[in-house]
Structure 1
Amino acid sequence: MKSHRTLIPALVPALVLAGLVATPPLAAQSAGSVRSAPMAVAPDDLIPAPRDVPYPGTIALEIDATDVARGVYRVTERIPVAEGTSRLTLLLPEWIPGAHAPRGRSEQVADLRFYAGDKLLTWKRDTVDVFAFHVDVPAGTREVTARFVHTSPLQSSEGRITMTGEMLNLEWDLMSFYPAGHYVRQVKIRPTVTFPKGWRVFTALDGAQGPGATSPVADTGPNRVTWNETDYETLVDSPIFAGIHAGRWDLGQNVAMNVVADDPKLLAIKPENLATYRNLVNEAVALYGSRHFDHYEFLLALTDRMGGIGLEHHRSSENQMEPTSWTDWAGMDWDRNVIPHELSHSWDGKFRRPARLWTPDYRQPMGNHLLWVYEGQNQFWGYVLAARSGVQSKDVVLGQFASNAANFVDSPGRAWRSVEDTTLDPIMAARKPKPYASLTRGEDYYTEGALVWLEADQIIRAGTGGKKGMDDFAKAFFGIRDGDWGTVTYEFGDLVTTLNAIYPYDWDKFLRERIEQPGRPAPLAGIEQGGYQLVWRDTPNPFEKGRFADARVLSLTWSLGMSVDKDAKVTGVRWGGPAFEAGLVSGTKIVSVNGRAYDPAVLRDAITAAKAAPAGGPAPLTFVVQRGDAVRTVSIDYRGGLRYPWLEKVPGKGPAGLDLLLAPRLPAPVAAKAKAK
């Protein structure tokens, strides 16, 4: 009798011909050895694809958001079920519009139970898609009720904090299910939320009924607010800001500024400063020549307790600024670009959207390849509208352009990675800190995209004798179909066609070279054609001065090639810079500089003094540094002094192209009294 080792190979051909087993890999058939090699098992696909058909019935969603002490939202969701349904697949949103990545938070849903009447149902999470839940439905069931809690992070290490003792930011996608198998626009839902007593509630949802939706605020009894029935797509696109210290200002054009704050004193905005937001609305509508909303709600939190955010929606936007951004108007000038940026998104990103960034539900992955338009051009317009309106000063806007441009000078990451490839960074990196961001690059499609569009503006301006610019493109591309607040998608070719209609040029080549090719020169052409040049000074520009002071960071990015936080720890190192060459890395603590205990002023003075050190002499900078338990002395031979980027106007007659771009298009309205409603 043959051994099992010889018998099994002998039987394999016959079994294969009989269709009983698959052909084993060659490695498993080699003489003198047996090596088991399994075949792949296809995962079960139990989730129906979305179809553009209505879901039967209307979902009722009720959220109790009163437990601000514990940061808990308690949710009850009643989902109608069609007759004969035996399994209901429910989805939590995963790919969130505006996040450009799968940023859903299924781990924050807890204590989940499903019921048919009083009967507890059996459910299982999908083993492949953890945002999908399969619920077994008994015969005759016409409604399934989900009960669960959504747990807001209590500290930043756990995620973004959405609830504090003074305010909350309720995002529906974090705490609601939708049925699989349907476009989200085909799912009807009626939402209700109970808030703490006395809180004001702000959202773009229509038909609010309840104390928190009125003014003055009722401070007794349940603060329960219900809105009109809507579709799930509109619901997810209409988040809530609510708080005890709140105000609302009419900005005209059916636009309102809704603000919650850590303290009521933070709401005290001067009339002339409030007028800049009215200017902003008017300048934006003039730029695009249309409105793609019936009303628009700025949702702004002046806080350092709730997590930061800047997220676009069609008829609203979620914005956070530092607490004193309104009361210290000059000192916080650097912090106010988020509002112009997010307003511009109503046209660029929400109404007109790259075709692969529109999806029928929140499960289908999004294609990011045109984010250098969606975000890059919007970054450009955010700067322009901030300067035109006065929401930010022109000097701060020029500082932002300067800082962006400087980041791409001698940038090692640009040698190997294109702007196009950085559009995938939100998916790959999820904005986590990187040890050598200058080498790996990040979401550079924002700022390098803005500089590419600045160059395009100057090319059009020069080619038409100043008669046209990117304003004409914005109106022709994003301003179509006034009053339409749906979505119109586009592809790369649509950009080229519209640009050529504004000014004939080889725009296909222009864009492909700058966006798709790595190793390009630093994107300074638009600045230079606009009559400015990037220069280096020994003090930060107005934008960086404010930003660094608020963060309590000593930035030496363009000198030693590192930054240092308030605790004397290195927080970032530029690849190939002097600090990098000396072996300094993130997390290293600086103990002393040239024999003196570390202090930001001591280090700045030492860098300045090193400029006078004789060439060929010993390294002028000596550091004692600590990393973990190891303490060592490091010498850095750097004599270039402090260097910070500025835009400096090239001498010439009349306003330069960049000046013309940033100049207001409309006369500023008279400042109205800054009184909240």
Structure 2
Amino acid sequence: MLIKRYAVTACMAAMLLIAGGPSMAQVAPPALPISLHAIPQPVDLAYPGTLTISVDATDLTRRIFRVRETIPVTRAGPMTLLFPEWLPGNHGPVGPVSSLAGLVFTANGQRVEWVRDTLNPYAYHIEIPASATEVIAEFQRLSPLTPSQGRVEITPEMLNVQWEKMILYPAGHFSRNISFQPSITLPAGWSLGTALEASSIDAATTTFKPVDLEVLVDSPVFAGLHYRQIDLDPGGRSPVRMNLVADNADGLKATDDQIALLRALVVQADRLYGARHYNHYDFLVAATDTLGGIGLEHHRSSENSIDPAFFTEYVSKLGDRDLLPHEYTHSWNGKWKRPADQLVPNLNTPLQNSLLWVYEGQTQYWGKVLAARSGLHDRQQALDALALVAATYDNRVGREWRALQDTTNDPIISQRRPAPFNSWQRSEDYYEEGQLIWLDADTLIREKTGGRKSLDDFAQAFFGVRDGDWQATPYTFDLVVQTLNDVVPHDWATFLRTRLDGHGPGAPLDGLTRGGWRLVYSETPSDYQKTLYAEYERNDFTYSLGLSITGDGTIAGVQWNGPAFQQGLATGAQIVAVNGLATSPKILADGITAAKDTTTPIELIVRQGDRYRTVGIDYHGGLRYPRLERIAGTPDRLGDIFEARRR
């Protein structure tokens, strides 16, 4: 009907023009299309019956998930089904609806046509025929084949099933009121890990116990040919396991000493939080360089990817050491205790991110602390890692115009797309600058109480109550402030808002100095930085020339208003020569050092596309790498923070 009305309107306009009537500019435009049916708003009522969803994940070569979903219905007439849009842990509207293909509905053995909502492309409208008791949806989830298409979820050796990318669910109900029974069919010989509990296993198909939609999307699956499960809490009050898949059998070779560190993580988390908000917890870990990278929190599990040589070349693999402490902490912060503006009724209700500086920022802080307390980082590594964070944000010039609070909108604004000038645009800085704020709070509490109390007391009061309860509980800014005040009276609201809404100059580094340390720069990187950047193949001259480069001299990042920026350099250009010599990271470093004792600019030949130009950078400050330096005569509160708890 809408199409016909548009056609008539267009014909009438043409006839008016031919007849010398009003011009097109004077003819009212056709009405915009409207939704075929109003999309029901979610209400807190149970959906009748249990939906079933079966995923066939055996097409490894083409990386296709084949889905069959059965939806019980109780009446004929219009029905709206939703594909999840706002994905938990992603903090934004990133549901990959375009990857759903081949969608066919049937009822009573007959095809039921669907129409996508013209205003909400995540909604599908159907008409349920009379006497139907169920509707069957069959479709494919076409997962990315290459990283350029998105995160790779299937390889010949392993896969990752995230249920929110595999389902349609009835509009009009809270997620917690829609029951699903999922099942998955895997390639022969594969094993899986998940927080879901199996009800039956038939050959390669595992059927799980029914759960509500909220629990389902919070319970992904890692599966693979090379699989090992490790008990991380032998004899504990609730199981904690690592489910490890790998590109090959070598990736499973965690040693007894490495397992002891992971078990210490569980012990230190118990001593920090004092309660568990799960009946069991499953780390899902992929040792891989073929499955797409991930670190994603869930209430009773987490999705984690680590370097394939994480266990076999442990000493040189620092980049993933604090990943598991971070994601494990989210079981308490973000999943059990959850920002009130993220407790939404269903997966198509917009999230608000105003408290991500607690949800992610405090989790980043505790992740680093637990990595140190468990021994995943030694004391020096913990200090050196903190130096890198402090230097990054002390030089984050974008703070001049954009407050940290506004960066909590970034998952919605930019959805983690790369930025041309990250130091100026800012990104999800609530993670690591948030870490600095919580360090500031921790050291202030320790100072005001003479070391009798700390942010650990906040963690106990905020997260360490109602042991065994895993019903999500909301928190607000006022509750955070109130709990801090219960630990030690202070104007915490002003303390936090000043740091969240301020513009510097410089990062909030009072936590460092109050902790007994200061940020300094030296001409040589720390052992931690050398090892980490070798792992990442990163060559960092941010605090000297104001840029970083890859091994072939391609510029990976440029500091806004730094020396390189002022000479017109930008990401993507390639430095092909330094002072007449073919470039390499060492040649560039030598050129920076040689310029210290001269007034001669550092000469770079730069290629951008098909154009070459010579650039002279008048910089003579030498190499600069961040470190922490002890402030003599002050308490070493950082040392106390990183010390393992004995009880």
TM range (shorter): over 0.9
Equivalent pair of 2:318/2:532 in contact (CA under 8 Å):
no
CA distance 1:41–1:519, shift in 2 (3 Å): farther
2:143 alignment counterpart: 152
CA separation of 1:42 and 1:73: change in aligned 2, threshold 3 A: closer
Greater shift after overlay, 110-119 or 539-548? 539-548
Match of 1:664 in 2: 644
Match of 1:101 among 88, 92, 111: 92
Cα offset for 1:542? 3.9
CA contact (8 A) 1:333 1:396 kept: no
Among 113, 116, 120, the alignment partner of 2:107 is: 116
Deviations 1:9-66 (A, max 9, x none): xxxxxxxxxxxxxxxxxxxxxxx99756769859436210111111011111111001
Report the alpha carbon displacement of residue 562 of structure 1 after superposing the two structures with TM: 0.9
Q: Which runs of 5+ in 2 are unaligned?
A: 1-22
Q: Quick one: distance in 2 between partners of 1:167 and 1:623?
A: 45
Residue by residue over 1:262-285, the C-alpha shift from the partner in whole angstroms, topping out at 9 and shown as x without a partner, is: 110121112111101110001101
Q: Which runs of structure 2 are paired with 1:76-91 in the superposition (5 Å)?
A: 76-83=68-75, 85-91=76-82
Q: Is the 8 A contact 2:555 2:572 kept in 1?
A: yes
Aligned-pair CA distance for 1:567: 3.2
2:175 to 178, 184, 188: 184
* CA-atom RMSD in angstroms: 1.7
For the 8 Å contact 1:404–1:447, the answer to whether it is kept is yes
Q: 1:576 and 1:208 mapped to 2: Cα distance?
A: 60
Distance, in Å, in 1 between the alignment partners of 2:256 and 2:32 is: 67
Render the CA deviation track for 1:66-97: whole Å, top value 9, x for unaligned.
111111110000101112x3122111111111
Corresponding residue for 2:627? 646
The 8 Å contact of residues 335 and 547 in structure 1, kept in 2 or not, is answered as: no
- Retained in 1: the 8 A contact 2:243–2:282? yes
Matched, 1:68 2:60: yes
Q: 2:419 — aligned with what?
A: 434
Is the 8 Å Cα contact of residues 334 and 396 (structure 1) preserved in structure 2?
no
Preserved contact between residue 296 and residue 316 of structure 1 (Cα < 8 Å):
yes
How far is the alpha carbon of 1:531 from its aligned partner?
0.5
Structure 2 matches for 1:459-608, cutoff 5 A?
459-519=444-504, 521-608=506-593
Q: Aligned match of 1:416 in 401, 415, 420?
A: 401
Q: Does 1:232 align with 2:213?
A: yes
Q: For residue 53 of structure 1, what is the aligned residue in structure 2?
A: 45
Deviations 1:351-406 (A, max 9, x none): 00110011110001011001000000000000000000012222222222111111
Superposed structure 1 runs of 4+ greater than 3 Å apart? 32-45
Match of 2:11 in 1: none
Whichever residue aligns with residue 325 of structure 2, its letter is P
Aligned pairs for 1:109-508 (under 5 A) are 109-210=100-201, 222-252=203-233, 253=236, 254-508=239-493
**Cα distance between partner residues in 1 of 2:464 and 2:39:** 38
Partner amino acid, structure 2, of 1:507? W
Query: In structure 1, what is the Cα distance between the partners aligned to 2:73 and 2:604?
Result: 69
Task: Give me the whole-angstrom Cα distance separating, in 2, the residues matched to 1:137 and 1:268.
Answer: 53
> Taking structure 1 as reference, are residues 447 and 537 closer, same or farther at Cα in structure 2, changes over 3 Å only?
same
Check the 8 A contact 2:548/2:558 in 1, yes or no. yes
Deviation of 1:475 (Å): 0.5
CA–CA separation in structure 2 for the residues paired with 1:648 and 1:209: 58
Shift of 1:312: 0.6
Amino acid at match of 2:302: S
Partner SS state of residue 431, structure 1:
coil
Q: Which residue of 2 aligns with 1:8?
A: none
Deviation at 1:598, TM superposition (A): 1.1
SS at match of 2:311: coil
Q: Distance in 2 between matches of 1:431 and 1:520?
A: 26
| Inter-partner Cα distance in structure 2 for 1:33 and 1:304 | 59
Distance in 2 (CA, whole Å) between partners of 1:191 and 1:529 is 52
Normalized against structure 1, the TM-score is what? Answer: 0.89
SS at structure 2 position matched to 1:611: helix
- Determine helix, strand or coil for the equivalent of 2:223: strand
Determine the C-alpha separation between the residues in 1 that align with 2:98 and 2:378. Answer: 42
1:598-639 per-residue CA deviation (whole Å, 9 max, x = no partner) reads 1111111111111121xxx331x1111111111111111111
The code of the aligned residue for 1:638 comes to Y
Distance in 1, Cα, partners of 2:134 & 2:361: 45
Look up the equivalent residue of 2:617 and give its one-letter code. Answer: I
Q: May I ask how many residue pairs the two structures share in their alignment?
A: 620
Does the alignment pair 1:618 with 2:600? yes
Q: Which moved more, 1:495-504 or 1:127-136?
A: 127-136
- Determine helix, strand or coil for the equivalent of 1:335: coil
Cα deviations by residue, 1:495-537 (Å, 9 ceiling, x for unpaired): 1111111000010110111112334542110011001111112
Give 1:148's aligned amino acid: F
Change (3 A) 1:414 1:36: farther
Q: Is the 8 A contact 2:101 2:141 kept in 1?
A: yes
CA contact (8 A) 2:194 2:220 kept: yes
Provide the secondary structure at the position in 2 that maps to 1:226.
Answer: strand
Alpha-carbon distance in 2 for matches of 1:392, 1:294: 28
Provide the C-alpha distance between the structure 1 equivalents of 2:469 and 2:583, rounded to a whole number of angstroms.
58
CA distance in 2, matches of 1:121, 1:515: 52
Q: Which amino acid aligns with 2:227?
A: A
Amino acid at match of 2:85: E
Deviation at 1:572, TM superposition (A): 1.1
Q: 1:583 offset after TM fit, Å?
A: 0.8
Question: For residues 325 and 33 of structure 1, what CA distance do their matches in structure 2 show?
Answer: 67
SS at match of 1:330: helix
Aligned to 1:23: none
| Paired AA for residue 631 in structure 1 | Y
Q: Distance in 1 between matches of 2:74 and 2:103?
A: 22
Greater alpha carbon shift after TM alignment, 45-54 vs 236-245 = 45-54
TM-score, length-scaled by structure 2: 0.93
Deviation digits for residues 459-499 of structure 1 (CA, Å, limit 9, x no counterpart):
11011110000000000011121110111101111011111
Bigger CA drift: 114-123 or 442-451?
114-123
Structure 1 contact 208–226 (Cα < 8 Å) conserved: yes
**Cα separation, 1, equivalents of 2:161 and 2:24:** 61
SS of equivalent residue, structure 1 residue 587 = coil
